[in-house]
Amino acid sequence: MVRLITHNLLACHVKGCTSNNFPLQFKDVQVELREAEFNPDFLRGFIPRLEWGALVDAARQLGDTSLPAEPPEMLDDDFLQKLHHVLLEVHIEEGAMICPNCNHVYPISNGIPNMASAYHQPIHNVVN
């Protein structure tokens, strides 16, 4: 859990933190690899949603350098297998994600990131 597909879709949402708030940086992460079902159609359909550079960087941070810097024109099986592994089979179980802009820390425990912690600071300014 906290697969790289998820990491690629989450941005910091602390009130007022609206630029340079993605991708979140990993800190002290504990990684596990777990097999997932390979579905080439799903992958092809999802590529347009990905921030490719962020994905490649996140994978490199975790020691996986299998992805090219740009998505290839030909989405052959070999490439899709690599993408499959990076997107769906790398799980971050413990650690944290940190906003590159406001440094807010999102803790991950037992595979579940707590994205609700973003609210505690500024919320007092907003309501009341």
Partner 1 sequence: MGLQYLFVFAQAHEEFRIPELLSIAELHGFEVTFPPPPSDISRPFMVLELESEVHARILARRCILVKFVCEFYGRGKAYEELHEQTRNNREKWSQYTQDTSFKFFISAYNHTVPQKRMKDVVESFHYMDFQGKIDMNNPEIVLACFEEYRDKRGTTRHKHEGDGDFEEVFFGRLLEEGTARPLVKTFDVKKRAYYGNTSMEAEISLLMANQTLAAPGKLIYDPFIGTGSMAYTTAHFGALVFGSDIDGRQMRGKEKQPGIIRAAAQYGVAHRIIDLCTFDVTRNPWRCGELFDAIITDPPYGVRAGAKRLGRKARPDKAPRPKPAEPFSSKRPDDEPYIPPTMPYELSSLVVDLVLLARYLLRPRGRLVFFLPTVTDEYEELDIQTMLCEGMEVVANSLQNFGTWGRRLITIRKITSERYPPPTFTSAQDTPDDGKAHTPAHKDFREKYFQGFKKAEDEQFGETTET
Query: Are 28 and 106 contacting, i.e. CB atoms less than 8 angstroms apart?
Result: no
| Nearer residue to Zn ion within complex by CB, 80 or 99 | 99
| The amino acid at 40 | P
Q: Which residues bind partner 1 (CB under 8 A)?
A: 1-3, 5-6, 8-13, 22, 34-37, 39, 41-42, 45-46, 49, 51, 88, 105, 107, 109-120, 123-124, 126-128
* DSSP bridge pairs for 3: 91
Q: How many residues bind Zn ion (CB under 5 A)?
A: 8
State the DSSP H helix or E strand holding residue 87, giving kind and residue range, or none if neither: none
Query: Are 29 and 105 contacting, i.e. CB atoms less than 8 angstroms apart?
Result: no
14 contributes a contact to Zn ion by CB under 5 A: yes
Shortest distance (Å) from residue 119 CB to Zn ion: 12
Q: Which does 124 bind (CB under 5 to 8 A by kind): partner 1, Zn ion, none?
A: partner 1
Structure tokens at 97: 């994600």
